[in-house]
Structure 1
Amino acid sequence: MNRILLLLILCLCCGEACAQYVTNLTLLKNQFLTGEPVVAVVSVTNRSGADVIVGGHGAPDWLQFEITQSTGQRLSPISIGSEEPLTMKAGGTTTHKVELSGGYSTANLGTFTILANVLHPISGQYFMSNKVRMTITDSKPNMFDQPFGVPEGFSNAGRQRRYQVILFRELDDLQLYCRITDDRSGAYIATFLLGPAMMAVQPQISIDVHNKLHVLFLAMPHVFCHVVVNPDAKVHQRTYYRDPEGNRPTLIMTNSGANVVGGEPFDPAAPAPKGKSLRKASERPADMTPVPKAEK
């Protein structure tokens, strides 16, 4: 009898604990190049019946990611905290976008599963999300591969590095990546996406006098993207140009850097212009007479 009572109490406690959070994990994509950051989105619905505060200076890490290889081997967990406290309202849902880099590097090739654990500070328990699969692969620099020196004014000035540009197929799409490596050891310093590319026009890629990388490529029909990458592996500038007929944008290297000649500036986030509506009969020009109906 005592055993049955104890089991009932344990079941009730587990039921209460499991009801604290409803947690969902998604990734912005599921296929990554070696060294590319993994961007995870964690949504947490607070079902505890009370507001929950996590994070804050000196507070324990409230978010943890577990990554397991297809072989069953677990990688070191990644714990994440925040200097500012976060309030999860009772019954509300909060969404958190997290970039897993630094503490986690996609250095190992293969297939992995990843899940998120969210801390409930009152009970001291972590509550698990769903599992998401991701694949880590690699590709050689098939578009561009040239050395450069890090100039003064940037961290690690004087070090020898390489800019590499990779055209990579993800499912049915072509993606253009930039990778920066150490020229001596070959170690990956950064790998990041430049954007989707269409190969109807060959990308223009060059290093300017300041050792910045310039890439001009066709991102969508009649729209070109110009990306400037600094020697410290950070994107300095990203601009878009429309390709009017007979005036295609072209990358021109200059004594002061680089310019895009031709085309016209384009904002892909701007709303599309409204289409022209059909004219009403009353708006017909005065010199235009109606066409008579055919007689039966």
Structure 2
Amino acid sequence: MPLHFSIPFCPVFGFNPGKSPPIPPAMRFFVFLTLCLCAVQARGQYEISLKLPRSNFMALEGITATVQITNRSGTTAVLGGPGRADWLSFEILSGAGNSLAQMDVDGSDLLQVPAGGTVQQKVVVTNAYAPADMGNYAIKARILDSKSGTHYESDRTRFSIIDNKPMWERSFGVPEGMKDAGAARRYALHIFRDFDSTSLYVRLIDDRTETRLNTYRLGPLSMIHDPQITLDSQNQLNVLFMAQAHVFAYAVVAPDGKLAKLAYYSDEKNGRPMMQQTDKGLIQIAGGEYFDPNKPEGNAKKVGGKPVSKRPPGL
């Protein structure tokens, strides 16, 4: 049975009860224009951009996103604060656009953005959910305007998760006195080749369940010289690898997967640095010249290091 709707009489347009007259073209244009202006005004309150450091990542690698927010409302914007809802969140989506996870960032600290002002937030967006499967993904940021209760979103930023077989693996037991002492673990080193760079990654794996416990980047990698890799007497992973021309990185990874040390050496003086193991199983670096790329340039000569301006890219 067909449905009938009645429209009340309107003295302006002459609508009669029981009839459904067409909307005049001028009226349709007015409604369309009004809706467009409302949408532009809502989107124009804030300019939100989301950036990732690159477009390709290793599976389960921590990903840090940078969100930039510009206030275009014309008045001071108040975001978050004690007792208010979290104002910043992220949503990770599959390549097909399906929502996979959402992460809310603690917004208990009040943030005021003056009219025309811009703020930046850096957040590790994989703390709540880290993609483990290879494929294409997307992420977007969402902010909540505490005053109006309106949500605003950034455009989607796309990224890919890739994985590969390790170049080196070694099983070990967690030493006494540490958490999970006696548990079987495995170190794995991976070479990650991106569009314009090559990096060395370390991964800690539960040797019994094959669960990947930790994955992160050690630094840029040059394969002119093969990395030196060994375990010391404390079952720490020691890796000496070439980061770029004349620069070598020495990394020590603890049995819990955390980075215990990262130092840099140059081969421009005293030759190429090499790892040596003492009779007690300790590792030391012979040759090369130690330098700290984070030292201010003014102190470089005092400590015998290189100026920060010569810091290798990606370190």
TM range (shorter): 0.7 to 0.9
The question of 1:224 aligning with 2:222 is answered: no
Q: Distance in 2 between matches of 1:104 and 1:98?
A: 13
2:240 alignment partner AA: L
- Secondary structure in structure 2 of the residue aligned to 1:17: helix
Amino acid at match of 1:177: Y
Give the TM-score of the pair, scaled to structure 2: 0.79
Equivalent residue in structure 2 for 1:76, among 88, 98, 101: 101
Considering Cα pairs closer than 8 Å and 6+ residues apart, tell me whether 1 or 2 has the greater RCO.
1
Equivalent position amino acid for 2:100 in 1: L
Matched, 1:95 2:120: yes
User: 8 Å contact 1:20–1:120 — kept in the other structure?
Assistant: no
User: Matches of residues 260-271 of structure 1 in structure 2 within 5 Å?
Assistant: 260-269=285-294, 271=297
Other structure's SS at 1:133 match:
strand
Q: Determine the structure 1 residue equivalent to 2:72.
A: 47
CA–CA distance in structure 1, aligned partners of residues 149 and 179 of structure 2: 41
Letter matched to residue 207 of structure 2: D
**Alpha-carbon spacing, 1:78–1:258, altered in 2? closer, same or farther (3 Å):** same
Cα distance between partner residues in 2 of 1:162 and 1:250:
24
The answer to whether the Cα contact below 8 Å between 1:145 and 1:164 also exists between their aligned partners in 2 is yes
Separation (CA, whole Å) in 1 of partners of 2:108 and 2:237: 35
Confirm or deny that 1:244 pairs with 2:268. yes
Change (3 A) 1:135 1:124: same
Q: How do 1:50-65 residues align onto structure 2 when only pairs under 5 Å count?
A: 50-65=75-90
Number of the residue aligned with 1:18:
43
Residue 32 of structure 1 is matched in structure 2 by 57
Q: What one-letter code is carried by the residue in structure 1 that aligns with 2:189?
A: V
Match of 2:163 among 105, 118, 138: 138
Which digits, 9 at most, give the CA deviation of each residue in 1:9-38, with x for residues without a partner?
A: 655543432222100111011101111111
Tell me whether 1:110 sits opposite 2:135 in the alignment.
yes
Q: Is the 8 A contact 1:31 1:134 kept in 2?
A: yes
Q: Percentage identity across aligned positions?
A: 39
> For residues 82 and 152 of structure 1, what CA distance do their matches in structure 2 show?
40
User: What is the rounded CA distance, in whole Å, between the counterparts of 2:46 and 2:212 in structure 1?
Assistant: 38
Q: CA deviation at 1:62?
A: 1.5
2:257 to 221, 227, 233: 233
Contact 1:37 1:106 survives alignment (8 Å)? no
1:197 equivalent in alignment to 2:197: no
Q: Which residue of 2 aligns with 1:285?
A: none
Distance 1:58 1:153, change over 3 A: farther
Q: CA deviation at 1:219?
A: 0.5
CA distance in 1, matches of 2:75, 2:175: 54
- TM, length-normalised to structure 1: 0.84
Return 181-190 or 63-72, whichever deviates more. 63-72
The CA deviation string for residues 25-60 of structure 1, in whole angstroms up to 9 with x for no partner, is: 110111011111111110000112222232344432
The number of equivalent residue pairs is 272
For 2:181, the equivalent position in structure 1 comes to: 157
Superposed CA deviations along residues 202-258 of structure 1, whole A, max 9, x for unmatched, are 101111111211111011111111111122221111110110356211112232632
Q: 1:87 to 1:212 in 2, by over 3 A?
A: farther
Contact 2:241/2:249 (CA < 8 Å) preserved in 1?
yes
Structure 1 pair 102–153 and aligned structure 2 pair: CA distance change class (3 A)? farther
Partner in structure 1 of residue 313 of structure 2: none
Conservation of the 8 A alpha-carbon contact between 1:242 and 1:266: yes
Matches for 1:250-261 after TM superposition, within 5 Å = 250-254=274-278, 255=280, 257-261=282-286
Indicate if the aligned counterparts of 2:88 and 2:107 stay in contact, CA closer than 8 A. no
Considering only aligned residues, what root-mean-square deviation do their CA atoms show, in Å? 2.3
Structure 1 residue matching 2:208: 3-state secondary structure: coil
Stretch moving more, 248-257 or 103-112: 248-257
Distance 1:109 1:262 in 2: 41
